[in-house]
Structure 1
Amino acid sequence: MSFQLIDEQEAIQAMARDFAANEIAPAASKYDEEEAFPVELFQKMREYGLANLAIPEQYGGPGIDKMSHAIIVEEIAKACAGVATSIEANSLSSYPILVGASEELKQKYLTKLTREGKFASFALTEPGAGSDVSSLSTTARRVGSEYVLDGEKCFITNASYADFFVVLANLKEEGKDKNFTAFIVDRESLGVTVGEKEKKLGLRSSNTASVIFEEVVVPASNRIGAEGEGFKIFMKALMHARPMVGAQALGIAQAAYEASIDYAKERKQFGKPIANLQAIQFMLADMAMNIEAARLLVHKAVGLLQEGRPSAQHASFAKCFASDTAMSVATDAVQIFGGYGFIRDYPVEKYFRDAKIMQIYEGTNQIQRVVIAKEILSS
């Protein structure tokens, strides 16, 4: 067991850190304030090999190992979690294709992301089906060699810019109630409508909108896997994605922690830096300890992915603990900054706003605990 990054991973980390510090961080507050989707930045990240991180080299991706993927995500999220979320939306959309799609679909759609610089969206959540995926109401029906989709998806990352959507629908078939099937739906398909951009608490540089499907015709060749395999494919995809949410949360937590250290050394009260006060020292110590524990859990889950042994339990450990840590660290960072922590001129209020969604998207932390409980009780 080694806790040391190899030389190549350290080089990737240094490159990602420099890019994030020089290209993302200086404009992060501007993107946040304007709720801007920085397309040019995303294309520059693609050119640097910092996008489409899950895609193998044979489809035009960087072809990096899973640990390098997590390291890059952490560094980007440290500069701006909104940017990290939109970049990782392409990875999330790639996972069902990589897990269950035909070679033809992989060649056609993954290369749209890598070689053409397109965006994609993972369309799972619905107005009435968030944590309870089994209740989703988007339907598909077979008509000859095609399917017809109807329904609405909400909170879809990159929806306004997506070239295609990876969609889970309930295939209507006599005698089958839950017959979930996965599809790739082209943005230009007749009957696809993208709603207004959502106004969000955090991640404001990331685009989020609803997607409505009205009698949308999808060729059978765009089905991912066999009929009825969609739920399993999407759950496998999330098993790969959740550790990377943990990596995003780590980036937020690390940024909030470092800002707190710097501020505590500079800010003076009672004639001395507040870093000399035990109350502040204990908060900083807890931050450091929990970030280290979260990083170990994330790296364990990522290591299992790299070994070809993805674990639902460890993916949930990583996502849940790291995002809880991000929220706790960001909250304490605001407290350490005091009144200044509540002001937009200082960075910690953004970390606080961005951290909250980490506990919610890609499965709430309550659902992560359900997954963990199921795994430990069935083993």
Structure 2
Amino acid sequence: MHFDWSAEQQAAYEATLAAVRKEFPGPVRDGSFSRKDWLVLGGLGLLGLSVPAEYGGGGLGALETAHRVEAFGRGCPDTGLVFAASAHLFACAMPLVGFAGAAAKKRFLPGIASGELVAGNAMTEEGAGSDVSRLATIATEAPGGFVLNGTKSFVSNGPEADVFVTYATTDPSLGHLGITGFVVARETGGLHVGGPQEKMGLQSVPAGPVTFEDCFVPKEQVLGVPGQGGAIFQHSMSWERACLFAGYVGMLDRVMEQSVEYARSRRQFGAPIGNHQSVSNRVADMKLRLEGARLLLYSACWQMDQGRPSLIGTALSKLAVSQAAVANALDAVAVFGGRGYLREWGVEAVLRDSIPATIFSGTSDIQRLVIAKELGL
């Protein structure tokens, strides 16, 4: 197994990096993305990288997709925008690619890939975060489909979304085997979208509640078959825990470059601060975390492309990248000193945007639990 990119793959990476730097030079915004931003991302192909070409996507495998998302994260200082696009693609488009019927794919996937539609993943509830087998949202079978009732408490992209991928309990007695997945258009009767919530970071990602009140969803918009929702959600999490976090690897690259440049140019005690071992050792540790996380992420994506996705592989990847993101962000603030605390330098935003990486897509403790179980503990 090796990760030697072909000339074509490396050229695609460099082209994405250059285009993103041109279109999104910064600074990090205080509010959510605009529809113009979204259409630009669609035009760059970043909203449909792993969507089949017949639906307007790039048709890439997991590893090539991650490579392009990595370029996106490296070139765009607004990590919230990178996350919003990646959640749209991996948590919403990929369940449709894998499990939606032909009519639903034709209706939703082209718009998702082009940026004409914004997608939101509606799974989290007040009483169901890490334990996704306890969904209080109920889907009751009705003639021609299902009627949904319940509230999703935190939906990334929710306030802006045109289409939602959601999950509801169809048989409470079966736990995770009694969950069914659905794709629901925003204009569907009985679907109510709440306003954006205030967050610590990832400001470009609007997030808010979504409520289903006697919301009828036709059977053509069921994902897979009733009861398959738990497996479909885990399928989407494999994509998200691997490929979405490539954006954080790109961010780590960007922060690494900024920290090295600053350590070379900033002088204290008559020398560049990088000459002082307390600073150079910190930067060396940043590089160690970055490259270890990158290799674990590439390995997880490679296994997905081989048709043998690994629970322990994606858990190790997600844990390593998210932990590295927080640790390196803290180290970057320390390298920049007082300037690392000032918003104008952008370093403090990296820290705020890194902390949620240890929470979404399964907390760090959940990843450790998965790893321990896979090891037989």
TM-score range normalised by the length of the shorter chain = over 0.9
Is the CA contact 1:250–1:323 (under 8 Å) kept in the aligned structure 2? no
What SS is found at the alignment partner of 1:190?
Answer: coil
For residues 364 and 136 of structure 1, the distance between their equivalents in structure 2, rounded to whole angstroms, comes to 18
1:65 aligns with 2:61: yes
1:116: Cα distance to partner? Answer: 6.5
Q: CA deviation at 1:196?
A: 1.3
Q: Structure 1 stretch 261-270 or stretch 107-116: which is displaced more?
A: 107-116
What do the CA deviations read for 1:145-198 (whole angstroms, capped 9, x no partner)? Answer: 22110111122111122111111100147x656511111111111111111101
2:86 is aligned with 1:88: yes
SS of alignment partner, residue 134 of structure 1 = coil
Whether the 8 Å CA contact 1:159–1:207 is kept in 2: the answer is yes
Partner of 2:209: 210
Counterpart pick for 1:56 among 44, 47, 52: 52
Tell me which amino acid in the other structure corresponds to 2:9.
Q
Q: Retained in 2: the 8 A contact 1:52–1:87?
A: no
| 1:259 aligned residue | 258
Question: Percent of aligned pairs with the same residue?
Answer: 34
Separation in 1, partners of 2:218, 2:184: 9
Q: Distance in 2 between matches of 1:185 and 1:246?
A: 26
Report deviation, 1:310: 1.5
Q: Which residue of 1 aligns with 2:321?
A: 322
Matched residue, 2:37: 41
CA drift of 1:244 comes to: 1.6
Q: Distance in 2 between matches of 1:37 and 1:23?
A: 13
Q: Map of 1:146-225 to 2, 5 A cutoff? A: 146-172=145-171, 176=174, 179-225=178-224
Tell me if structure 1 keeps the 8 A contact 2:139–2:146: yes
**Cα distance in 2 between the residues matched to 1:104 and 1:154:** 29
The code of the aligned residue for 2:5 comes to L
Q: Is the 8 A contact 2:120 2:155 kept in 1?
A: yes
Aligned AA (1:238) = M
Residue of structure 2 equivalent to 1:6: 6
Q: Out of 77-86 and 183-192, give the one that drifted further.
A: 77-86
Would you say the 8 A contact 1:76–1:83 is kept in 2? no
Q: Distance in 1 between matches of 2:227 and 2:245?
A: 30
Per-residue CA deviation, residues 331-358 of structure 1 (Å, 9 max, x unaligned), is 0000111111110011211111111111
Number of residue pairs matched?
Answer: 373
**For 2:49 and 2:312, how far apart are their aligned partners in 1?**
23
State the Cα distance separating 1:54 from its structure 2 match.
2.1
- The code of the aligned residue for 1:94 comes to A
Give the Cα separation in 2 of the matches to 1:190 and 1:53.
Answer: 31
Q: What is the match of residue 120 of structure 1?
A: 119
CA distances 1:31-80 after superposition (whole Å, capped 9, x unpaired): 2x3x1313212211211222222211011112223222112212222322
Q: Which moved more, 1:73-82 or 1:128-137?
A: 73-82
| 1:72-111 map, 5 Å | 72-78=68-74, 79=76, 80-91=78-89, 92-111=91-110
Shift of 1:115: 4.7
Contact 1:16/1:72, CA 8 A, preserved across alignment = yes
Task: Tell me if the contact between 2:48 and 2:114 (Cα under 8 Å) persists in the aligned partners.
Answer: no
Counterpart for residue 298 of structure 1 = 297
**C-alpha distance 311-28 of structure 1, shift in aligned 2 (>3 A):** farther
Is residue 140 from structure 1 mapped to residue 139 from structure 2 by the alignment? yes
Specify the code of the residue in structure 2 equivalent to 1:52: G
AA matched with 1:296: L
Partner residue, 1:336? 335
CA distance in 1 between counterparts of 2:52 and 2:241 reads 19
Alignment RMSD (CA, Å): 1.6
Q: Could you list the runs of 5+ residues in structure 2 that have no partner in the other structure?
A: none
Q: Which runs of 4+ in 1 moved over 6 A?
A: none
Equivalent residue letter for 1:51: L
With 334-343 and 178-187 compared, the bigger mean Cα shift is at 178-187
Judging changes above 3 Å, is the alpha-carbon distance between structure 1 residues 7 and 177 closer, same or farther for their aligned structure 2 residues? Answer: closer
**Take 2:234 and 2:62, find their aligned partners in 1: how far apart are those partners?**
18
Matched AA of 2:241: R
Q: What secondary structure, in the 3-state scheme, does the structure 2 residue paired with 1:214 have?
A: strand
